[in-house]
Amino acid sequence: MARPDKSAAVAELTDKFRSSNAAVLTEYRGLTVAQLKTLRRSLGENAQYAVVKNTLTKIAANEAGITLDDQLFAGPTAVAFVTGDPVESAKGLRDFAKDNPNLIIKGGVLDGKALSADEIKKLADLESREVLLSKLAGAFKGKQSQAASLFQALPTKLVRTVDALRAKQAEQGGAE
């Protein structure tokens, strides 16, 4: 029979897995409390970084319908639960890990799909959602401008062609 405190912890972790867009599992061995505080700040407002027990986290992930590799649960584990833009938090983890080699990104989950550590690093290399959306909007605006120019060029070209034909006919008519 499970202890009530462990059952509550599993329920809380399960809820976090279900309500998060992404979760990144890390090993934090060797980091000081001050470094962990800095890491939490670098993740942004939409992420919670929590030290967790491996067994309880594995049970919670399974209950949330997420299948994670057992190797992710080796050693001391902390999870960054991301409710907003996962790119921002992935960048925060990547940058912090560059400065603090004791932080090891093990893997994670994005929208229910398991990710390897390399995939999380690729996610961190992406631009933020807002930047990607603004680039997309700019591309659409550029294409609309090109289409408008094209549609405007057709009648202009037709008028020039008709004028050239009229001038040619007037020239031929005056020569006879």
Exposure of 9 in the CB half-sphere (CA atoms within 13 A): 15
- 73 and 109 share a domain? yes
CA distances from 88 to 3, 13, 59, 123, 132 (A): 37, 22, 27, 9, 13
So what's the pLDDT on residue 175? 57
Q: Look at the chain and report how many structural domains it folds into.
A: 2
The CA distance from 26 to 96, in Å, is 12
- 12 and 87 share a domain? yes
Residue 142: domain span: 134-175
- 111 and 158 share a domain? no
Q: Is the pTM of this model over 0.85?
A: no
Q: Which pLDDT band, with edges at 50, 70 and 90, does 1 fall under? A: very low
DSSP 84: S
Give percent of the chain with pLDDT exceeding 90.
Answer: 0
Which of 5, 8, 76, 19 is CA-nearest to residue 48? Answer: 19
CATH code, 42: 3.30.70.1730
